[in-house]
Structure 1
Amino acid sequence: MPVVLGYYPAYEGFNEASIPWDRFTHVCHAFITSDKQGQIETNDKVPSRSLTERAARHDTPVILSVGGWGDADGFEMATSSPEKMASWVEDLTQIVVEYGYAGVDVDWEFPKDESTKQRFTQLVRAIRSSFDRVTTTTGMRLLITSAVTARPAEGKWIDGPALEGAIDFLNVMTYDFSGPFTAVASHHTPLFGSPEDPESAWRSTQAAMAYWEETQGFPRSKLNVGIPLYGRKFPLRQPYTATSGARAAGFGTPTYRQILKLIDAGWTLKQDAHAKAPWILAPQGELGIVAFDDEASARRKAEWARSQGYRGIFFWAIGHDSLPEGRFPLLDASIAGWQGAE
Structure 2
Amino acid sequence: MAAPSCLRRVGYYTNWSQYRHPGGKFLPSDLDPSLCTHIIYAFANLVNNELVASEWNDETSHYEQVTNLKQRNKELKVLLAVGGWNVGSEPFTAMVATERSRAHFIRTSIQFLRQRNFDGLDLDWEYPADRGSPPEDRDRFTVLVQELRAAFNAEGSQTNQPALLLTAAVAAGKSRIDNAYDIPALSAELDFINLMTYDFHGGWENVTGHNSPLYAGDHESGDQRQLNMGWAAKYWVTNGCPPSKLVVGLPLYGRSFTLTTEKTTVGSPASPGQSSPFTREDGYASYYEVCKMLHSDGAQSNFLEDQRVPYLVLGTQWIGYDNPKSLKEKVSYVRSQGYGGIMVWAIDLDDFRGSENVEPYPLLTTIKEECQL
Shared fold per TM-score greater than 0.5: yes
Q: Using a 3 Å threshold, how does the CA distance of structure 1 residues 242 and 158 change in structure 2: closer, same or farther? A: farther
Q: Is 1:222 matched up with 2:245? A: yes
Which of 7, 13, 37 aligns to 1:8? It is 13
Deviation at 1:45, TM superposition (A): 4.2
The AA in structure 1 aligned to 2:15 is A
Measured in 1, the distance between the counterparts of 2:218 and 2:155 equals 51
Relative to structure 1, the CA distance from residue 62 to residue 77 in structure 2 (aligned partners, 3 Å threshold; closer, same or farther) is same
Query: How far apart, CA to CA, are the structure 1 residues paired with 2:149 and 2:272?
Result: 46
Q: TM-score, normalised by structure 1?
A: 0.92
- Secondary structure of the residue aligned to 1:2 is coil
Q: Is the contact made by 1:105 and 1:144 (CA closer than 8 Å) also made in structure 2? A: yes
Question: Structure 1, unaligned stretches of length 5 or more?
Answer: none
CA RMSD of aligned residues (A): 1.9
Specify which of 341, 347, 354 is matched with residue 324 of structure 1.
Answer: 354
Q: What is the alpha-carbon distance in structure 1 between the residues aligned to residue 234 and residue 57 of structure 2?
A: 36
**Contact preservation (8 Å) 1:229, 1:330:** yes
TM-score scaled by length of structure 2 = 0.84
1:338 and 2:338 correspond: no
Matched, 1:210 2:234: yes
Give the drift of 1:29. Answer: 0.8
Tell me whether 1:42 sits opposite 2:66 in the alignment. no
User: Superposed, which structure 2 residues align to 1:94-173 within 5 Å?
Assistant: 94-111=111-128, 112=130, 113-139=134-160, 140-156=162-178, 157-173=180-196
1:264 to 286, 295, 311: 295
Number of paired residues?
333
2:172 is paired with a residue whose SS is coil
- Aligned residue for 2:284, secondary structure, equals coil
> Identity over aligned residues, as a percent?
29
Q: Structure 1 residue 195: deviation in Å?
A: 1.6
Q: What are the equivalent positions in structure 2 for 1:240-259 lying under 5 Å apart?
A: 240-243=267-270, 246=271, 251-259=282-290
Question: Is contact 1:148-1:171 (8 Å) kept?
Answer: yes
- Structure 1: how far apart are the matches of 2:233 and 2:291? 29
Kept in 2: contact 1:11–1:45 (CA 8 A): no
Corresponding residue for residue 309 of structure 1: 338
Cα distance in structure 2, aligned partners of 1:205 and 1:168? 21
Deviation at 1:224, TM superposition (A): 0.9
Q: In the TM superposition, what whole-angstrom CA distance separates every residue of 1:281-302 from its partner, at most 9, and x where no partner exists?
A: 11xxx31100010110011111
1:69 aligned residue (78, 85, 88): 85
Corresponding letter in the other structure for 1:32: A
Ranges in structure 2 where 5+ consecutive residues have no aligned partner:
1-5, 19-25, 276-281
CA distance in structure 1 between the partners assigned to 2:273 and 2:319 by the alignment: 15
Instruction: Deviation per CA, 1:205-228: give whole Å up to 9, x if none.
Output: 11010011002x011100111111
3-state DSSP of counterpart to 2:349 = coil
Quote the offset at 1:84 in angstroms: 1.7
Q: C-alpha separation between the residues in 2 aligned to 1:247 and 1:177?
A: 14
Q: Taking structure 1 as reference, are residues 6 and 211 closer, same or farther at Cα in structure 2, changes over 3 Å only?
A: same
Query: 2:279 is matched with which residue?
Result: none
Q: Which amino acid aligns with 1:2?
A: L
